[in-house]
Amino acid sequence: MAARSFETLSKRYSSHKPPKGMPGGPGMGGPRGGGPGRRGPGGPGGKPKNTKTTIVRLLGYLKAFRFRIGIAFFFMVVRAISQIAGAYTLRPIINDYIAVGKMEGFVYALAVLAGIYIVGVVSTYVQNRIMISVSQGTIETIRNDLFQKVQKLPVRFYDTENTGEIMSRFTNDVDNIGMMLDSAVMSLVFGIINLVGTFAMMLYTNVWLSLITAAFLPIFIRGGALIGKRSRKYHSQQQAALGALNGYIEETVSGQKVVKVFCHEKDCEEEFSMLNDDLRGKQFFAQFFGGIMGPVMGNTSQVCYSLTAGIGGILCALGRFDIGGLTIFVNYSRQFSHPINEISMQISTFFSALAGAERVFQIMDREPEAEDKEDAVSPGKIHGDVVLEHVTFGYNPDKTVLKDISLYAHPGQKIAFVGSTGAGKTTITNLLNRFYDIDSGTITIDGVNIKDYSRSTLRKNIAMVLQDTHLFTGTVMENIRYGRLDATDEEVIAAAKTASAHSFIMRLSDGYQTVLTGDGANLSQGQRQLLNIARAALSKAPILVLDEATSSVDTRTERHIEHGMDRLMEDRTTFVIAHRLSTVRNANAIMVLENGEIIERGDHDELLALGGRYYELCTGQKELD
Ligand SMILES: Nc1ncnc2c1ncn2[C@@H]1O[C@H](COP(=O)(O)OP(=O)(O)O)[C@@H](O)[C@H]1O
Ligand SMILES: [Mg+2]
């Protein structure tokens, strides 16, 4: 079977849109997983769109290092001067010693020359060291800022962005900025100083010969610009192709089980080789244009060199020019193409770093979760009296997901939601702790609008077992303690017992000290759920939300933990979304949701008597999912 076409593939994997059909419902609270080194689609390629503002913002980061940068600049100028002066020193050495065969003082003159070059080498060393410390310091700050920002972003951001893509901003893009600060900026300025300085020295040495070089100048500049432009173009295409390939690898590696289940290995190989082939092509041209710059410029300057050497030689023979002057002049003219070379090469680093910086700043400019109100209330104790009145909500303005939902839950009551997949059950729980804010209507807890609480107060008072579990790298003990950081070991163990997790934890190799990795990959899905329940059990929040908390636990275990769950729900206002209707039977009220509306409500007996949808579900006339 033919694999997807190349166009579809490259577009899909280098675009910044999230892949369709990502598993998991909306609003998964904690940070998403994503192992180190996952690189998302969309490399740093492409020209920055808003160069000036980006540069100004980068300069803002450099401000803290201005003193060090000043020193680095000083040493860079010393280095440029020593290079130009060193070359010039040859003139008196040749004229005054070598040409006339004078040995007295010759060694001294050579020592001066060596001294100048040593100063140059030391300055280069110092300048590089300082700039590396500046660039590493800067990108450390940028990474910190970016991470802090990402922590403040609303759940909507995580629901819509591709994890790999976010990761690549921390890695690829930030590294590019670092590379630019390390070397490109200084090389660029050094190249310019070197170019101007060398030409000035040529003029000083011999005006007429300088004119020959001046005639070649447009060729150098034009050639450099042309090749540089090509090189930049293919460089950015190469980055995009690399991003596409990385995106594809990431997806097939993390989804390898699905690939195997559906026997898509062959297709994957084909698709991969298409993307790989594209990268090879782009890389070829990027390398080619990067590589021919030196030889082309070198050969052109060789022509310039021969011309100046020939004409200079004639001038010398006529006694119009000194042999030392000629030597250094041809030296200068041979070196002349180097700075142009360097400048055009560094410009590409410069641009891809700016493109990276822009992508980093894009995230920093994202709207964070709205600030808490200034007079936000933080009551000492919340009882858990929850009221929803005419709540309407949609993730996007053009699609309403919940319509006119009204319900109340008195402290300690158990409210259940049932309904088919996509009916809006998880969405209701997303609104309670303000993962998303409602469009109209009100939600109050203990009579206070939830918008008037600070977010931390609100979330501390609502314990949630989310539909998709998440465990962090760390021990079982630490993972459960995530529910309440000041809990003692005994409390953690008691919570695990409540959730019926204790016995399987004790069977793990190191018990509570077993280290979980890769989102608890060494546990079964049901065991992961039990740990998440234990986490909620540890929290003392008066409101509890269980979103299909036991969907992957077998019925026997479920019955086993029923007792613990009852204890967990005791004295707490509980919202429970259940997969199995048996678990909601004893709820104070059951809400049957259909397309975002509550179509039936009441307790188990009332709903059965009603003979409606719930009755159909219970008697098996209709399947739940
Ligand atoms: N993050 C999201 N962005 C946009 N739409 C979403 C998001 N999460 C869920 N939806 C949509 O909202 C509806 C309700 O989803 P959800 O509340 O998760 O249903 P369920 O009852 O299965 O828990 C679905 O139609 C789903 O497509
Ligand atoms: Mg759900």
Ligand 1 centroid to residue 15 C-alpha, Å: 24
| pLDDT for the residue numbered 23 | 33
Q: How far apart are CA 507 and CA 465, in angstroms?
A: 24
pTM of the model: 0.77
CA of 396, closest atom in ligand 1: 4
Ligand 2 centroid to residue 370 C-alpha, Å: 25
Q: How far apart are CA 476 and CA 469, in angstroms?
A: 14
Contact 605, 445 (CB under 8 A): no
**Which of 576, 574, 593, 546 lies closest to 403, judged by CA?**
593
Cβ 421 under 6 angstroms from ligand 1: yes
What residue ranges do the domains of the chain occupy?
Answer: 49-364
| CATH for the stretch 49-364 | 1.20.1560.10
Q: How far apart are CA 227 and CA 93, in angstroms?
A: 39
DSSP helix/strand/coil, 471:
coil
Give the burial class of 429: count Cβ atoms within 10 A of its Cβ; 0-12 exposed, 13-18 middle, 19 or more buried.
buried
Ligand 1 centroid to residue 329 C-alpha, Å: 74
Residue with CA closest to ligand 1 atom 1: 26
- 155, 395, 399, 593: residue to mutate for ligand 1 pocket, most atoms within 8 A of CB: 395
DSSP helix/strand/coil, 4:
coil
| pLDDT for the residue numbered 622 | 57
- 32, 160, 398, 401: residue to mutate for ligand 1 pocket, most atoms within 8 A of CB: 401
Residue with CA closest to ligand 1 atom 7: 26
Cβ 159 under 6 angstroms from ligand 1: yes
Question: What is the mean predicted confidence (pLDDT) over 487-503?
Answer: 93
| pLDDT for the residue numbered 66 | 94
Cβ 424 under 6 angstroms from ligand 1: yes
- 426, 598, 624: residue to mutate for ligand 1 pocket, most atoms within 8 A of CB: 426
User: Which ligand approaches the C-alpha of residue 594 most closely?
Assistant: 1
Of residues 110 and 241, the one with the higher pLDDT is 110
Ligand 1 centroid to residue 155 C-alpha, Å: 13
Ligand 2 centroid to residue 509 C-alpha, Å: 33
User: 287: pLDDT confidence band, cut at 50, 70 and 90?
Assistant: confident
Cβ 426 under 6 angstroms from ligand 1: yes
Contact 186, 76 (CB under 8 A): yes
Cβ 185 under 6 angstroms from ligand 1: no
Ligand 2 centroid to residue 305 C-alpha, Å: 75
Where do the DSSP E strands lie in 153-199?
Answer: none
Residue in the structure block whose two tokens are 């459960």: 480
pLDDT tens-digit series, residues 27-65: 333 333 333 333 333 334 445 567 788 889 999 999 999
Q: Is the pLDDT of residue 600 over 90?
A: yes
Question: Which stretches within 36-162 are classed as H helix?
Answer: 51-62, 66-92, 106-152, 155-160
The vertex-577 CA angle with 452 and 611, nearest 5°, equals: 115
User: 6: pLDDT confidence band, cut at 50, 70 and 90?
Assistant: confident
Question: What is the mean predicted confidence (pLDDT) over 446-466?
Answer: 91
Q: How far is CA 171 from CA 157, 162, 328, 488, in A?
A: 19, 15, 46, 38
Of residues 251 and 281, the one with the higher pLDDT is 281
Cβ 579 under 6 angstroms from ligand 1: no
β-pairing, 597-602 vs 543-547, is unpaired
| pLDDT for the residue numbered 132 | 93
pLDDT tens-digit series, residues 203-238: 999 998 999 888 988 888 888 888 878 877 887 787
Q: How far apart are CA 353 and CA 366, in angstroms?
A: 20
Residue with CA closest to ligand 1 atom 14: 424
> Mean pLDDT over all residues of the chain?
85
Q: How far apart are CA 238 and CA 245, in angstroms?
A: 10
pLDDT tens-digit series, residues 309-357: 999 999 999 988 999 999 999 888 877 778 877 777 787 778 778 878 8
Residue with CA closest to ligand 1 atom 3: 395
Ligand 2 centroid to residue 425 C-alpha, Å: 6
Q: How far apart are CA 339 and CA 475, in angstroms?
A: 56
Residue 270: both structure tokens together: 């084909």
Residue 245 host element (H or E)? helix 207-254
Cβ 347 under 6 angstroms from ligand 1: no
